[in-house]
Amino acid sequence: MRAFNNSINQMLFRGFVMICRKDNLIMHDTRLLLKRLLYFSGCLLFMFLFLPFEKGVCADFDYFGSLQEKLVSEGFEREKIVQIYQSPQVFFDTKGVSLFFVHREASLNYNQFPSQLYLTGAKIYLKTYEAEFSNAEELYGVDREVITAIILVETKFGQSLGKRQVINTLSTMASLLDADVRKKFWEEISGSTTLSFEAFEKKALKKSSWAYKELKALLMYTEKEEVNIFNITGSYAGAMGIPQFMPSNISRYAADGNMDGRIDLFEHADAIASVANFLKKSGWYRGINEAKAKKVIRQYNPSSYYIDTILKVAQMLK
């Protein structure tokens, strides 16, 4: 990282903290914190002493058993899979994955991005990574303002990367391929969703198949790049890194922007090159008109709010 973090944090971090306060709540009740820590420690002790196989949560229910067997049957090394799912860092994330069944894209505040605060930050970002943007424009033919707008909206220049462990998000959703796990999960979230059981079943089956493919991609990526899978955090959907790529997009679109021989989407050089490569492979070209630009950006995120915001911010940066 260059001097960017120091310079941009001074101008933007306070604003980010205010905007993202909901994601940064601090527990002030010390006694409540201690009780939760003691409970969690008790759960871990119970699992280590009495469970021969990781159960996903502190409960007498095997959430990840069938998922592990499926992964092994499709070629993943049993020892490595067992090691991952026996880790106390891996658990069935009911709270996180329940967002799949209550989240609404239109509820996100896209109006915050074409503001003076973020436009100032975007101009600093463009100047700080001028060399990387020049390389991306030359190699991929994608406007630097569009790349910047996407990185702004996705993670606020890497300030909001998501706090959920991607392995937990994808494993939890993928485990819903198992009918027993779906039933158990439905019992836990039915009171917090407006979906009927039939609608939940349909959505859960679709999402679990998708998540399973993403989980496999995550496992392959972390093994290839020798990345600690437990250190990867992301969005509620499992998107990761500065550009918020899903794991399956890494092999198809991620690029080594700093030419260090590896792909790290938490590095700005790689993130900039990867966004540019994604857009180029999705149909972007120099001088593209607005109508076609919208179709390309739609492949990054299908939300009309998102697409309009990206193009608006990009235009304001020119």
Residue with tokens 């205010």: 18
Tens of pLDDT, residues 77-107 = 999 999 999 999 999 999 999 988 875 554 6
CA distance readout (Å), 105 to 4, 102, 182, 236, 258 = 31, 10, 24, 13, 33
**What is the distance between the alpha carbons of residues 310 and 204, in angstroms, rounded to a whole number?**
30
Residue 19 in this model has a pLDDT that exceeds 80: no
pLDDT-based confidence at residue 192 (cuts at 50, 70, 90) = confident
Say if residues 221 and 247 touch (Cβ distance below 8 Å): yes
pLDDT score of 52 more than 80? no
Average pLDDT over the chain reads: 85
Q: How confident is the model at residue 233 (pLDDT cuts 50, 70, 90)?
A: very high
- The answer to whether the CB of 116 falls within 8 A of the CB of 14 is no
DSSP, collapsed to helix, strand or coil, labels residue 255 as coil
According to the model, what pLDDT value does residue 100 have?
86
pTM over 0.75: yes
Residue type, 258: N
pLDDT above 60 for 311: yes
Residue boundaries of the structural domains of the chain: 4-23+63-317
What is the CA angle 20-26-29, rounded to 5? 155
Alpha-carbon dihedral of residues 16, 309, 105, 13, nearest 10 degrees?
-10
- Identity at 239, one-letter amino acid code: A
| pLDDT, position 102 | 75
The separation between the first and the last C-alpha atoms of the chain, rounded to the nearest angstrom, is 25
Strands 233-234 and 164-165: antiparallel
Q: Categorize the per-residue pLDDT at 59 as very low, low, confident or very high, splitting at 50, 70 and 90.
A: low
